[in-house]
Amino acid sequence: MIVVAWPSGAPIDRVRLRRPTITAALITALASPTYAAGANPGEWDQGFAELLHQQARVASVGYRLTTANRGLCDTLQPEAGWVVQDPTEYKPDMRSAAIRFFKMDSGYTVMLVVPDGPAARAGVLAGDAITAIDARPVVEPARAIAQQPASTARIDAFSAAMDAAMARGRTIVSVNRGGKTLDLALVPAIGCASRTDLSLAPGFDSYADGVAATITIDMVRYARDDDELAVVLGHETAHNVHHDHPAAGLRKGRIEAGAVGTRESEIEADYTDLYLMARAGYDYHKAADFWRRFGRDHGLGILASPSHPGWTRRARLAQATASEIDAKQASGAPLVPNLGLFDGIRKAPH
């Protein structure tokens, strides 16, 4: 899912349910820092291409982190391994350009497919137009879609329908590809209940709300490779695995609601982060250098807050955790964090 911005002062869990639509200004700004009103379609295409590239990185890393670590999570969810979008997510002044670039002529369209994920194994391709879920049509006439105001209502409804179908197991996804209808059998993967979202809000930021790990596109760009991207997404995913900030209605967290942003929870999320990375096959040794570089470049931001450990301490903790993981791998010990939350997993037979 793509998130545009957080309305000032709004509760995180409420914002998640009312995510804003995508504007031409935001998309064009991705391609041109000198954006001005009245951008031409060519500039929009540059923004769309940048959005697609960075969304693919986020989706792939998020999928690996959640599915590889399902054994550490007490709350799970089915995953398709794709990103689907709808024309009504885009404002009218850019909707036709988005439809043309992403080939969204028929409504719900596959934006991208995570390599070797359930959708990819089912034969789903980027650009496929989704017409039905388990034989239940999800198509509206193109004219009706074009006339709808910008809203996330349709994509929210699709996501809910797809989640419900995947919760039952094998799901038949019908797609239109080049004028032909194909019925594809998608067997969902199981992962930790932590969605991964890309935000177009400005700034180097990431956050967790108990439901999703969200990262801004500036932070994605800052990550030199997917290992560094996993450092940031793994930290926010760890908050959700720890239940540090339960969403509305979820009050079973190990720490009281609102614990994200306390120094203890941040240190523990950094610690679990490296385990999530290791289990997903990412180079967790890069975490220390990432925090050193980020601290030097942006040390006056969140890392200067009393709620977060400073970047020098963060780097030292990352080094110590990497050494701990190295020792476990050398001895054949299970890669389970040494936190009380995981006692039952760590003590179970392996």
* 306: containing domain: 223-347
Question: How many angstroms separate the CA atoms of 291 and 190, rounded?
Answer: 30
What distance lies between CA 216 and its chain's CA centroid? 10
Same domain, 231 and 185: no
Tokens of 223: 């990550």
Strand partners for 78: 190
Same domain, 129 and 231: no
Q: How many domains does the chain have?
A: 2
Q: Domain for residue 206, yes or no?
A: no
**Domain end (from 146, 171, 190):** 190
Same domain, 39 and 95: yes
CB distance 158 to 136 below 8 Å: no
| Residue 275 pLDDT | 98
Same domain, 157 and 47: yes
Q: Domain for residue 210, yes or no?
A: no
What distance lies between CA 320 and its chain's CA centroid? 27
266-289 in b/e form (b: 16+ CB < 10 A) is bebbbbbbbbbbbbbebebbbbbe
CATH of the domain at 55: 2.30.42.10
Q: Domain for residue 204, yes or no?
A: no
Same domain, 181 and 271: no
Tokens of 169: 């197991």
What is the block-wise mean pLDDT of the chain (350 residues), using blocks of 10 residues?
38 33 59 49 81 95 98 95 92 85 88 97 97 92 73 88 96 96 98 92 88 92 97 96 63 39 82 98 98 85 57 92 98 94 65
| Residue 175 pLDDT | 97
Q: Domain for residue 186, yes or no?
A: yes
| Residue 152 pLDDT | 81
**Single pTM value for the model:** 0.85
| Residue 7 pLDDT | 31
**Domain end (from 170, 190, 210):** 190
| Residue tagged 């540090």 (tokens) | 244
Same domain, 169 and 231: no
| Residue 263 pLDDT | 73
Same domain, 146 and 35: yes
Three-state DSSP class for 4? coil
Same domain, 40 and 121: yes
Question: How many angstroms separate the CA atoms of 53 and 152, rounded?
Answer: 22
